[in-house]
Amino acid sequence: MQNTFLPNLSNSGLFTAFRYLHKERKKRYMDYKRFLELDKIIRNQSLTTFFQPILDLENGKTIGYEVLNRPPSTSLFPNTDLFYEFIGQTDRVFQFECFIRNISIKRLVDGLRKSPNQKSALIFLNIHPYVLMDSNYKIGETKQLIEEYGISPEQVVFEITEKQAVSDFVQFERILSHYRSQGFRIAVDDAGSGYNSLKTLVYLKPEFIKIDKSIIQNINKTIVKQKMVSLLMNFAVESDTSIIAEGIEQVKDYQYLRKMGIHFGQGYGLGTPKKELTPGSLIV
């Protein structure tokens, strides 16, 4: 027989509140452990740096490399996406981006010494837009750093991912203009995957537009994707911008993109990320 003097906790606000607090406590504890793991990764410089080739789809020449930094796989960070997503939610973005910039350039230089024939390759560095807008990010420091290693600013392309929203486009455009005046170039990464694609392209006026792999893969048989890429291609022609198709893995996709006149491509079908600067090759 049910005791009518005791409330049904499963239906009470008290039980709901208890469950919420328990869940929140677990989340905070997990975040705390991830903070400690992040500090350990930075302290030990335990990220592994890879270089993925970017190819001219017409002649197969490797024009440059995207620098990719991956953390060790652990129970706290089982994959790279979760790792970077966590950093973006913390107050460590600036600290981590400066750390990433420094080790990326240092390891790039080490790679160039081993592959001197790649010394003129373009270098695509991922950077969070909030970092470029941070007053603590010293303008001119990146230029000084790369020139110390004998790299020209004209070789460096800052990749701004379209998934990371920019709130003040006018101010951000001014900042990018300053970097351009030093010789750096800009790429909008993951174009087509976010909510502000067209606005981002109009305001930032990138030298490169990297189309997200979700649009590129199976494009040879998907009309909607074909129309989207055609739209971006027309914009690129009118604005003197180059297109880089990401995520190329299939021969038919490569053939379709080349026929469209897409300038450059990147993906496992053209070259996997490697620790050395290894040129890619076209799918045959």
Three-state SS at 168: coil
| C-alpha torsion angle, residues 221, 225, 226, 230 (rounded to 10) | -170
Count of other CB atoms within 10 angstroms of residue 100: 22
Beta bridge partners of 68: 50
Give the Cα separation of 164 and 138 in Å (integer).
21
Three-state SS at 263: coil
Please, are residues 42 and 72 in contact by the beta-carbon 8 Å criterion?
no
Give the Cα separation of 284 and 105 in Å (integer).
33
Give the Cα separation of 100 and 261 in Å (integer).
34
Going from N- to C-terminal start, the domains of the chain cover 16-265
Task: Kindly give the confidence (pLDDT) of every residue in the chain, 284 residues in length, as a single tens digit, with 9 standing for 90 and above.
Answer: 455 544 555 556 776 776 777 677 777 888 899 989 999 999 999 999 999 999 999 999 999 999 999 999 889 999 998 998 898 888 888 888 889 988 999 999 999 989 989 989 999 999 888 777 776 666 677 888 888 888 999 999 999 875 556 677 788 888 888 889 999 999 998 886 655 567 778 888 899 999 999 999 999 999 999 999 999 999 999 999 999 999 999 999 999 999 999 999 999 999 999 999 999 999 87
Cβ contacts of 201 within 8 Å, gap of 6 or more: 188, 191, 209, 235, 239
Cα end-to-end span (Å), the chain: 76
Count of other CB atoms within 10 angstroms of residue 282: 19
- Give pTM, 2 decimals: 0.86
Which amino acid does the sequence have at 53? P
Q: Is 177 buried (19+), middle (13-18) or exposed (0-12) by CB count in 10 A?
A: exposed
Residue located via tokens 């048989």: 221
| C-alpha torsion angle, residues 100, 101, 104, 107 (rounded to 10) | -110
List helix spans (H) across the chain. Answer: 13-44, 80-88, 93-114, 129-133, 141-148, 169-181, 197-204, 213-216, 223-239, 251-260
Each residue's pLDDT tens digit, 89-137: 888 888 888 899 889 999 999 999 899 899 899 999 998 887 777 766 6
Among the listed residues 133, 50, 72, 131, the one whose alpha carbon sits nearest the alpha carbon of residue 96: 131
Give the Cα separation of 92 and 55 in Å (integer).
34
Please, are residues 277 and 112 in contact by the beta-carbon 8 Å criterion?
yes
CATH superfamily membership of 16-265: EAL domain (3.20.20.450)
Give the Cα separation of 108 and 122 in Å (integer).
11
Phi, psi of 106 (to 5 degrees): -60, -45
